[in-house]
Chains A and B, each alone.
Chain A
Amino acid sequence: MATEATVLVQSNGHSFELPTLAFAGLPSTLCKGCGHNSITSYLIEACKAVGVNPYNTVKFSGIGCSSKTPAYFLQYSHGFNALHGRMPSVATGAALANRKLLSIGISGDGDTANIGMGQFKHACRRNLPLVYIVENNGCYGLTKGQFSATADLKAPLRRETGEQNTIPPFDLCLEAIMGGATFVARSFAGDKKQLLPLLKAALTHKGLSFLDIISPCVTFNDFSSSTKSWDWAKAHEEPLQEVGFVRRLPEIEVEQKAGETTNVQLHDGSWITLRALRHDELKVTDRKSATSLLMESNERGEFLTGLMYVAPDRPDFVTMQNMVETPLSRLPLEALRPSRETLQKIMETI
């Protein structure tokens, strides 16, 4: 039984205990009060709660403030701080090399919506098994506050009186859904109650789990008129649902209460429970319903959070490769070289 200082970890049929420090990381070097730090701490909590095995987990990031965060959690896990906007390709390769890995990618709005849009959308299209988190603050922190492609129209640059953004933003949840991601949610770094179950569900979903998390930049984009500030987000957040996550319980325990709760079962038997708070017309398993709600709410200027879309049954990219059960990285070398006779036969056909 796990004690306070240890966490019970389940991995490929066996379970063992690890010290909680296995889930911790180095101290953050980001600004005090940065939304990213909150997300990191909730992510650690979520990993512990679902019993993620750090040895079989890999952390990826691109470049930017967000991309430093994989150093701050799961220190027993390998991490790869890749190139600006290119995290998805590196994660794709690693997932193919070792199909047993759980991959967590941390990106930012510049890293994904600007330089990395192509790789982001192709990862969605492939339904790569990856928890893809965008820590969205609408600006470039590390290069001192320039607009990113998620900055709202007319958002002021760096300060209340800053020059206004003249180009409308990308809605990354919409892009993810259109791209083919099978788990798409938006949340807010200040909404632990919602973010925690969403993270747990994302870690459990098999496929591309995309989370667009508004994560205020306290240095360059935290003034009252900024739609990516702590105060604005707190005041305007409209959660769509009360989100719950129930690990692998018998079906009867989460029996649907008609009209009130929607339950979605994930591949491993876990359940996401959703009690609608507003816009109960949203059908989370329906792409059309999700995209039209997002488009309409964008026009109205609403800041909706919650689970937008989930398709638990679409096969993920790694499964579709039809590879042997043993990870390619662990195959004995003999398995990778066909026989002498095979070469001879090939030579005869050329």
Chain B
Amino acid sequence: MSVTFPSVETHPVSDGIATSPASVNDLAIRVGTVNGSGSQSANLVLLRALYAMGIPCSGKNVFPSNIEGLPTWFHIRASAKGYVGHRLDTPILVCMNEMTAKDDVRLLNPGSICIYRDDFAEDLRTIRNDVQFFPVPFAKLVEQAYPPDKADKAYRDKLRKVINMVYVGVVAYVTGIEIEAVEAGIRREFPGRKAKAAEINISAARTGYEWSKDHLPDNLPFRVERLDSTGNQILIEGNKAAALGALFGGTSVMTWYPITPSSSLAEYAEDFLKKHRTGPDGKATFAVVQAEDELAAIGMAIGAGWAGARALTATSGPGIGLMTEFVGLAYFAEIPVVIIDVQRMGPSTGLPTRTSQGDVLKMHLLGHGDCRHVVLIPGSVGECYSLTIEALDLAQQFQTPIFVATDLDMGMNLWLTDPFPYPEKPMERGKVLSAEDLERYGQFERYKDVDGDGVCRRTVPGTEHPLAAYFTRGTGHNEKSGYSERPEDWKKNLDRLARKLETARGVLPKPVIEGQVAATVGLIAYGSSHPAVVEARDILKDQGIATEYCRIRALPTSDEVTHFIERHQRVYVVEQNRDAQITALLRASLPGSITDRLRALTHYNGTPLAAENIVRPILGWEKSPSGPGWPTGNVEVDNPDKPHDAPDISPE
């Protein structure tokens, strides 16, 4: 059988338009498929194969709020330099979904490769002529690999899934991913009982690979080669990492209500707890409740924390909204509880499957009246693990709600990381008095600041001593927890709570600061922006702009952040929200003389932050810092002619 392919057409590249230069081990692949078609397995296989070849890699699922039918994309990145952030340009595009194929093709840089189904109604080659198009007879190839099985009623459904493994084979050939690594990845994806499925899928991948060998040019420009850079690293989602933090942080009561993108965190945690915290007699050292809503989830966690448990709940923005009143109560009544917010794009239902850092200020100030909370912000999956453990300790130590702020990008995507270390610090119990303590002290007042650090002593129910009991209330109270409306009592208590937060501020995770102290330009970022900032700093450096970088890991911010701002003329604050929430917080708390050094660099279209989103506005600012057309920092506004990643997927 012979198939003719058009020769690769060249196209004069206009000035200033980036092309995709040939590369080795600097790969980005975008796969457009239909949600629910089983493409996730295929994409994970590609990722595992890259990982097995020792190439640092990451994968991102850009998916709709839908179970089946709407378009979904998977981004795979391999980078010898270890960059794992989102990349806007993808030199290799795989189109399995005709609905989005044309839009996806328009996004490509000249010189890119597009692999697509040859049975699309419209041939993509008519759209542009500066891209290499490889139409592949997927339907035919998959039936070759997995012949019709009349006995199997689910055959059609399975075929629809297996077809994805054909593109895995094609991509492997095109990019130089070893087919053996693909096979190993498939076996890993379909272990044990699924061995038969593994063989079918291996056959599909091989068919795609062999067909490509026969029909596609060799020496294609975007290739990977074996490296030795992944060592004993693991690939893990932030939600699984945080779930491990919950397990090793000693969570004893976890309550939750299903909400994307935090559900998988709670489900992983429940699985881990069941497996590793159940005794040989089947008895558990934990309790997990799927509550009726987030109000109940936080209420249960607070009740548990009050009664002496290490309590945790996980949610996302809308859940945080519902938890507001309870979090204010826990702040004021001083009850330990950990709340993990895997942020998604709001307001309202918003983009429930897209990422954002839109809740950070809300978490910090959640509640009515004067509320202020500790927020820990992991910048890696490793920190999703370690800061969840830290949060469980801080909650006990400071008897207050502690937030852990991650997001969909961090939580639901796969990231390469070193294996997690065992927590060396003993678990914190906080100032809990036993019956013996009470006997020794001869007195107990729940809200008296005995130690001068704003942190009072507490007792838990079940303490058999006449002095132990107190009445916990959200109403105004004096040191004995008695009802009080006296202005002195009220103010004294509120001031002590501020003092307690100040004590906490001193022990919270410090910012991570790296780069050149003498640099003019400072960069501040937090959370999942980190990988993009790392890459952006290298690009800026190549452009002659040296930077120092401060990654905030906790609110309220420590003095180091202030000092960092003080030593730079201009400080760009990278935020994945519209209103530059942390910039606003810093402006409100910094000495007035330095607040005008801050420039917010915001990204809020629902896609993960890419280095390009940071580099472009900073280059604009630094190279032409005034006059018309001065960049706003918003990549969409600053680049009106450039299409912005995901095309419209609305089903209407």
CB distance from A156 to the nearest CB of B (A): 32
Q: Which residue of B lies closest to A325 (CB)?
A: B283
Within 8 A of B (CB), among A302-337: 321-325, 327-331, 333, 335-337
B248 within 8 A of A: yes
Question: Which of B248, B468, B469 is close to A338, meaning CB atoms less than 8 Å apart?
Answer: B248
Q: Which residue of B lies closest to A345 (CB)?
A: B276
Interface string of A2-41 (1 = CB under 8 A from B): 0000000000000000000010000000000000000000
Question: Which of B251, B287, B325, B468 is close to A78, meaning CB atoms less than 8 Å apart?
Answer: B468
Question: Which of B250, B283, B295, B297 is close to A322, meaning CB atoms less than 8 Å apart?
Answer: B283
Residues of B within 8 A of A118 (CB): 292-293, 296
CB distance from A101 to the nearest CB of B (A): 6
Question: Which of A54, A83, A95 is close to B299, meaning CB atoms less than 8 Å apart?
Answer: A83
Within 8 A of A (CB), among B275-299: 276-277, 279, 282-287, 289, 291-293, 295-299
Residues of B within 8 A of A161 (CB): none
Residues of A within 8 A of B253 (CB): 93, 96-97, 328
Give the size range of A's interface with the partner. Answer: 35 or more
Residues of B within 8 A of A165 (CB): none
* Given A80-B306, A90-B306, A340-B422: A321 in contact with B284 (beta carbons within 8 A): yes
B466 within 8 A of A: yes
Give A231 to B283 CA distance when docked, in angstroms: 53
B647 within 8 A of A: no
**Does the CB pair B471–A79 fall under 8 Å?**
yes
**Does the CB pair B248–A89 fall under 8 Å?**
no
A77 within 8 A of B: yes
Within 8 A of A (CB), among B457-490: 459-466, 468-475, 483
**Does the CB pair B471–A322 fall under 8 Å?**
no
Residues of A within 8 A of B303 (CB): 80, 82, 89-97
**Does the CB pair A122–B307 fall under 8 Å?**
no
CB distance from B377 to the nearest CB of A (A): 23
**Does the CB pair A98–B325 fall under 8 Å?**
no
Q: Which residue of B lies closest to A77 (CB)?
A: B469
A143 within 8 A of B: no
Give A33 to B282 CA distance when docked, in angstroms: 52
Question: Which of A96, A101, A325, A330 is close to B300, meaning CB atoms less than 8 Å apart?
Answer: A96
**Does the CB pair A93–B301 fall under 8 Å?**
yes
Total interface residues on B, using CB and 8 Å? 71
B339 within 8 A of A: no
Residues of B within 8 A of A350 (CB): 234-236, 240
Give A347 to B252 CA distance when docked, in angstroms: 22
Residues of B within 8 A of A101 (CB): 307, 461-462
* Given A86-B326, A331-B285: A81 in contact with B469 (beta carbons within 8 A): no
**Does the CB pair B427–A83 fall under 8 Å?**
no
B247 within 8 A of A: yes
**Does the CB pair B244–A346 fall under 8 Å?**
yes
Interface string of B404-438 (1 = CB under 8 A from A): 00000000000000011011001101000000000
A56 within 8 A of B: yes
B269 within 8 A of A: no
Question: Which of B251, B300, B470 is close to A90, meaning CB atoms less than 8 Å apart?
Answer: B300
CB distance from A175 to the nearest CB of B (A): 15
Q: Which residue of B lies closest to A336 (CB)?
A: B250
B315 within 8 A of A: no
Give A71 to B470 CA distance when docked, in angstroms: 9
CB distance from A152 to the nearest CB of B (A): 28
**Does the CB pair A89–B291 fall under 8 Å?**
yes
Residues of A within 8 A of B250 (CB): 333, 336-337
Question: Which of A58, A77, A79, A333 is close to B426, meaning CB atoms less than 8 Å apart?
Answer: A333
Give A37 to B238 CA distance when docked, in angstroms: 53
**Does the CB pair B427–A336 fall under 8 Å?**
yes
B255 within 8 A of A: yes
Within 8 A of B (CB), among A48-101: 54-56, 58, 70-71, 75-83, 86, 88-98, 100-101
* Given A90-B300, A321-B284, A336-B250: A119 in contact with B308 (beta carbons within 8 A): no
**Does the CB pair B309–A97 fall under 8 Å?**
yes
Residues of B within 8 A of A342 (CB): 276
**Does the CB pair B462–A329 fall under 8 Å?**
yes
Give A313 to B182 CA distance when docked, in angstroms: 56
A249 within 8 A of B: no
Give A100 to B272 CA distance when docked, in angstroms: 26
A1 within 8 A of B: no
* Given A55-B462, A118-B292: A347 in contact with B419 (beta carbons within 8 A): yes
Residues of B within 8 A of A92 (CB): 289, 296, 299-300, 303
* Given A55-B468, A93-B301: A81 in contact with B473 (beta carbons within 8 A): yes
Give A343 to B296 CA distance when docked, in angstroms: 31
Residues of A within 8 A of B474 (CB): 81-83
**Does the CB pair B475–A81 fall under 8 Å?**
yes
Give A78 to B463 CA distance when docked, in angstroms: 9
Give A97 to B306 CA distance when docked, in angstroms: 9
Give A329 to B299 CA distance when docked, in angstroms: 17
Question: Which of B252, B289, B326 is close to A336, meaning CB atoms less than 8 Å apart?
Answer: B252
Give A83 to B306 CA distance when docked, in angstroms: 14
* Given A81-B473, A322-B283, A324-B284: A98 in contact with B466 (beta carbons within 8 A): no
The CB with the most chain A CB atoms within 10 A, among B283, B306, B463, B483, is that of: B306
Give A342 to B309 CA distance when docked, in angstroms: 22
Give A122 to B277 CA distance when docked, in angstroms: 27
Give A97 to B432 CA distance when docked, in angstroms: 15
Residues of A within 8 A of B466 (CB): 22, 76
The CB with the most chain B CB atoms within 10 A, among A58, A90, A101, A118, is that of: A90
Besides A56-B461, A75-B469, A337-B250, 15 other A-B contacts (C-beta < 8 A)? A55-B469, A56-B462, A76-B468, A78-B469, A80-B473, A81-B472, A83-B299, A95-B303, A96-B303, A97-B253, A101-B307, A321-B284, A331-B252, A338-B276, A347-B234
Interface residues of B (CB under 8 A from A): 234-236, 240, 244, 247-253, 255, 272, 276-277, 279, 282-287, 289, 291-293, 295-311, 325-326, 329, 419-420, 422-423, 426-427, 429, 459-466, 468-475, 483
**Can you list 7 A-B pairs, Cβ within 8 angstroms, ordered by A?**
A86-B326, A322-B284, A328-B252, A328-B285, A333-B426, A336-B310, A350-B240
Interface residues of A (CB under 8 A from B): 22, 54-56, 58, 70-71, 75-83, 86, 88-98, 100-101, 118-119, 122, 321-325, 327-331, 333, 335-338, 340, 342-344, 346-347, 350
The 3 closest A-B pairs by CB, nearest first: A93-B303, A329-B308, A89-B299
